[in-house]
Structure 1
Amino acid sequence: MHSSSTKPRLSFWQLWNMSFGFFGIQFGFALQNANTSRIFSTLGANPDELPLLWLAAPATGLLVQPIIGYLSDNTWHPKWGRRRPFFFLGAVFASLALVLMPNSQSLWMAAAVLWMMDAAINVSMEPFRAFVGDKLDESQQTAGFAMQTFFIGCGAVIASLLPTIFTDYLGVSNVAPAGTIPDSVRYAFYAGGTVYLLAVLWTVFTADELPPENLEEFQRERSLSKGLGHALAEILGGFGRMPKTMVQLAYVSFFTWVGLYTMWIYTTASVAENVFGTTDATSAAYQAAGNWVGMMFAVYSGVSALAAFILPVLARLTSRKTVHMACLAIGGVSLASVFQIHDKQMLMLPMIGVGLAWASILTMPYAILAGSLPAKRMGYYMGLFNFFVVIPQIIAGVVLGFVIRHAFDGHAAKTLVLGGVSLLVAAALTVFVKDNVRRPK
């Protein structure tokens, strides 16, 4: 691939076009994060069963992202480039899954569709991280990841609000017979699938890719890398060759994603119990709580979209790891405080702190990581880093059900305190991360 010094500096609108697909991808993730527990509960799942049902998402990422990263590193087409074929294929299948999810007739079907949805979203998303490393020199990489974070925030705001928009402004029903998904949720997923596909297609057709610096050498290396056995050896062997910075970030990522996974799984049940006074997933109050959680998630996503352009400025004044540590600490305190809040309006306040943390989580670790990775294996290592995003979620998925049942007496809100503490631990571990560029330009 091109060295950092030979990569052309991109304009604002070129950064916009190459990142716009994330607007659609986040429609998929936001609808999944805000509504999956609601769908599972509506179909009969108990609170202590939710973590295991959610395991489909991180387990899929564990399998898919390193493989897609490896394949995209070894792909080149004169017209379609390296990463864009994966953007497109993932978008097609993710859009289909978004249509299927709210039409699930049983718990097992919803869990199966979640596998499909998360696999397809990961096929689209993983190459986007490597896309920044491919196209931008080091002086623009933080800005590139910040632009992605901006679109992630904007997409998540709109997607999280969709059930409320359909209910409050378009008169769509937010209740349904027992075991049936409300129309407000179904229409939100239909809209999300459409936006997902269109936004990714925008990037596919408006952004180009830099060819390998030495095409003949690239093709020779690609021919040598063919074969399932070689691919698996390369993927698994990379653990022993991870750059030191990546190892340090792995510890931070582990505790970060335990906290986030806890929030996504249990915020709906927590708000329903603590604020709306119900644990009955078939009740109108529980569905109202689900819509309110969508609004809460829209707030933290909106904050992250705005913070995306402020954090790089703060990083230039201090350092990327200082900014990340501060944002994680603020997010941890904010998430833990949800347990003490019983007024729905006041629930928006901690979401501001969570939004700051989310903006940094989506920007700073990847900017720090990109500077420590070899250009030829950018996609592979970005995919490998995802192990430290999904493994903590898998562990949390296995453990949280036991914790809520035996330690928290079935009270979901207490798990949010645990999630907040996990973010604080991640903040403390950030101190030990070595950033190769202290003051990014």
Structure 2
Amino acid sequence: MSIGFFGIQFGWGLQMANTSAIFEHLGADADQIPILWLAAPLTGLIVQPIIGNLSDNTWGALGRRRPYFLIGAIFASLALVWMPNAGSLWMAVGLLWILDTAANISMEPFRAFVSDLLPPKQRTKGFTMQSLFIGLGAVLASALPWLLANVFGVHDSVTNGVPLVVKISFYTGAAFFLGTVIWTVFTTEERPPRDMEAFREQQERRLGVSSTVREIITAFQQMPATMRQLAWVQAFSWLGMYCVFLYFPPAVAHNLFGASSESSPLYSQGIEWAGICIAAYNAVCFGMSFLLPRLAAATSRPIAHALCLTCGGLGLISLWFVPSPRWALLPMLGLGIAWSSLLSLPYAMLAGALPARKGGIYMGIFNMFIVLPEIIVSLGLGWIMAHLLDNNRLLAVVLGGVCFLIAVPLTLRVEEATPQPTITATLQPALESEAISK
């Protein structure tokens, strides 16, 4: 069920570790980076709730969610092949828009996929299994340029401003993205709605532009209390991660390695080492995937998530005090703990509060609380970098740690809803057949 997330995160991992560096290679300044990244949150804001509603109300030869996995994977893989070959800054920005849109089309229904197929008691394990595959994909994606250069001896020539090892990594990512999603599409079964006639009537009511807008507005108005509380947690948590995505690799290159320009050998070494650091926190994310269910069971999901966010916040802030690049690996321990929880526990807390058969649209709306603050940052952080932070990329990463810590008390006020006894339409026929056979 979750192996497709390995490929999706492989693509995301390459994007997060290399996009800012690609932009700088093509001539972008530090204060331009946030606005150039606007594609990521803006496409999420537009695409996720729409795809969520469509996937709630789709049924065909490939089921409900799987058609969207496949379509998104095809276009994302094409964008991964083209992006490191962009001949200009604005071409790279346009390809980032395509990549983010396609990746969102694949990723959004995956969240609802877990809620569809698993009963409430298994959802924490289901979402942490996604976190496990996310960690694996991101580890390999982030470390691949360094491995190609230092282990496999790939000549690190630069063409169009982008090193060859980065290009090969993006081609590999395209293959993994498409291949693993195809695996999930053709090996995981979705069962049809119990009453197909009623489902067709539901499609007529909910599909179409006006119906989709109406469904989104209605879902906003009827948003569960748990989701409203988690919205603030998500906003500040992902602001912290967004600062990492935007500035961590260039911060390692400029602040820790001392690169004076993007053409310096120190810059390439710094970006490669940043990839190792990103791989390290994703490796921690992988390990924590086995421990999170036990931690949540021993305490509670909100307490466990608050503890993890605290580790991440302190880790990012401590980067300001590292004496050398090698010491940057130590703060990655805290960031990896937070990242593992961020990818799983909020969704596990949310799943039990959602109405049956509307998991897709609510998961899409939930992700809007991630992207709306990120849009604000994309529009405003460039000014802050230029006028308040003196374009110090490491200070921007430390600011992300502060955002994590702000999210901690907001997490502790989340009240989890009792899981609804209603079984989702996708799962119900199988359970009824099993009960009859017994």
Task: State the TM bucket, normalised to the shorter chain.
Answer: over 0.9
For 2:42, which of 33, 56, 59 is the aligned residue?
59
Q: Is the counterpart of residue 117 in structure 1 residue 128 in structure 2?
A: no
**Separation (CA, whole Å) in 2 of partners of 1:279 and 1:144:** 45
Q: Which residue of 1 aligns with 2:362?
A: 381
Q: Which residue of 2 aligns with 1:264?
A: 245
Q: Is the counterpart of residue 306 in structure 1 residue 298 in structure 2?
A: no
Q: Which residue of 2 aligns with 1:276?
A: 257
Structure 1 residues 56-65 or 230-239, which shifts more? 230-239
How far does residue 432 in structure 1 lie from its aligned partner after superposition?
1.1
How far does residue 213 in structure 1 lie from its aligned partner after superposition?
3.0
**Separation (CA, whole Å) in 1 of partners of 2:104 and 2:237:** 19
Contact (CA 8 Å) 2:146, 2:272: kept in 1 or not?
A: yes
Q: Which residue of 2 aligns with 1:141?
A: 123
Contact (CA 8 Å) 1:19, 1:148: kept in 2 or not?
A: yes
1:375 aligned counterpart, secondary structure: coil
Q: Is the counterpart of residue 228 in structure 1 residue 205 in structure 2?
A: no
How many percent of aligned residue pairs carry the same amino acid? 49
Q: Which residue of 1 aligns with 2:335?
A: 354
Structure 2 residue runs without a partner (length 5+): 420-438
Q: Which residue of 1 aligns with 2:151?
A: 169
For 2:403, which of 422, 431, 440 is the aligned residue?
422
Q: Deviations over 1:15-44 (max 9, x none)?
A: xxx000000000110000000000000000
**Separation (CA, whole Å) in 2 of partners of 1:154 and 1:134:** 24
Q: Which residue of 2 aligns with 1:74?
A: 57
How far does residue 279 in structure 1 lie from its aligned partner after superposition?
3.5
How far does residue 416 in structure 1 lie from its aligned partner after superposition?
1.5
How far does residue 437 in structure 1 lie from its aligned partner after superposition?
4.9
Q: Which residue of 1 aligns with 2:425?
A: none
**Separation (CA, whole Å) in 1 of partners of 2:209 and 2:231:** 27
1:380 aligned counterpart, secondary structure: helix
Q: Is the counterpart of residue 370 in structure 1 residue 329 in structure 2?
A: no
**Separation (CA, whole Å) in 2 of partners of 1:146 and 1:97:** 28
TM-score normalised by structure 2 residue count = 0.94
**Separation (CA, whole Å) in 1 of partners of 2:263 and 2:171:** 22
Q: Is the counterpart of residue 344 in structure 1 residue 303 in structure 2?
A: no
Matched ranges for 1:178-217 at <5 A? 179-217=160-198
For 1:41, which of 24, 27, 36 is the aligned residue?
24
Q: Which residue of 1 aligns with 2:417?
A: 436
Q: Which residue of 1 aligns with 2:428?
A: none
Contact (CA 8 Å) 1:269, 1:279: kept in 2 or not?
A: no
**Separation (CA, whole Å) in 2 of partners of 1:90 and 1:357:** 28
Runs of 4+ that moved beyond 6 A: none
> How many residues end up aligned between the 2 structures?
419
TM-score normalised by structure 1 residue count = 0.93
Letter aligned with residue 105 of structure 2? V
**RMSD, matched Cα:** 1.2
Q: Deviations over 1:134-188 (max 9, x none)?
A: 00000111110010000000000001111111111222233526x5211010000
**Separation (CA, whole Å) in 2 of partners of 1:378 and 1:256:** 22
How far does residue 108 in structure 1 lie from its aligned partner after superposition?
0.1
Q: Which residue of 1 aligns with 2:6?
A: 23
For 2:33, which of 31, 37, 50 is the aligned residue?
50
Q: Which residue of 2 aligns with 1:95?
A: 77
How far does residue 225 in structure 1 lie from its aligned partner after superposition?
2.2
Letter aligned with residue 27 of structure 2? G
**Separation (CA, whole Å) in 2 of partners of 1:29 and 1:342:** 30
Q: Which residue of 1 aligns with 2:141?
A: 159
**Separation (CA, whole Å) in 2 of partners of 1:273 and 1:125:** 33
For 2:225, which of 235, 244, 256 is the aligned residue?
244
**Separation (CA, whole Å) in 1 of partners of 2:211 and 2:53:** 11
**Separation (CA, whole Å) in 2 of partners of 1:34 and 1:144:** 27
Letter aligned with residue 138 of structure 1? P
